[in-house]
Amino acid sequence: MSLVKLSIKGISYSQTQNGAYALILNEVDGDRKLPIVIGAFEAQSIAIALEKEIKPPRPLTHDLFKNFADRFDIVIKQVIIHKLVDGVFYSSMICERDKIEEIIDARTSDAIALALRFNAPIFTYKNILDKAGIYLKINPETENQEEDEAILTTPETFGLEETSDKQNAFAKLSLSELHEMLEQAVQDEDYEKAAKVRDEISKRES
C-alpha cells in the first residue's frame, strides 16, 4: 500500500461545545482533507506546538516526552496513520535509537503532537484517505478568508468543557441523508460535524 504525506492545516472550532475539536490534515499532493476529532487537551498541545513563539511555563506532557527522548537520544522519524476502524484512527510512531528502529503504537492525537515537536513527517495509507478524506468545494477567491475564519491555532481559544455522552444523532438518518449532511457540513467549514458524519457513513459502508 502506498503512503500519502499529510500536512497540518490547523484545528477547527467545536461547533457543539462538547469538548471535542477537529484536527485538519491536508493531503500534500492533492486536494483532500482528513478531519480527525480530538480532545481538548490534545488540541491545546498541538496548537502550542504550531505556535512556535508560545512557550508554556512548565512542560506539557508531550514536551516532557520530547525532553525525555532527547536525553536518551531517541528520535521520532515519522508518524503513520495506519488503520481506521469504526471511526477511530490508529497510528504508529517510527522511532530510532542507536540506528535501531522501533514501532510504537499511539493515539493519533498524541502521535501528531509529538511529530510536531520532532519535526517528523506524517503519513497515511492511500486506502484510508480514499475512505475518510473529504473534498472542499471552495471558491478560490474566498478560500483563504473562509479557512482562516474556520481554523485556528491559538491555544487560548480552547476550553476544557466536559464531553457529554450523547447518543449518535445520525443513527436514524439514511445514507443519502448522511451524504447530504456531509456535503453541507463541508460547505459550512464545520469540520467536526463532517468528521462525525463521515465516520457514520464509513461504519455503514464497511
Q: What is the pLDDT of residue 16?
A: 53
pLDDT, the chain, mean: 81
52: helix, strand or coil: coil
Cite the beta strand spans of the chain per DSSP E.
3-12, 20-27, 32-39, 75-85, 88-97, 100-107, 122-125, 134-135, 151-152
Q: What is the pLDDT of residue 102?
A: 96
Q: What is the pLDDT of residue 137?
A: 53
Cβ contacts of 177 within 8 Å, gap of 6 or more? none
Confidence tier at 151 by pLDDT (50, 70, 90): very low
Residue with cell 495509507: 125
What pTM, to 2 d.p., does this model score? Answer: 0.73
Question: CA geometry: angle at 107 spanning 103 and 110, to 5°?
Answer: 95
Residue with cell 496513520: 81
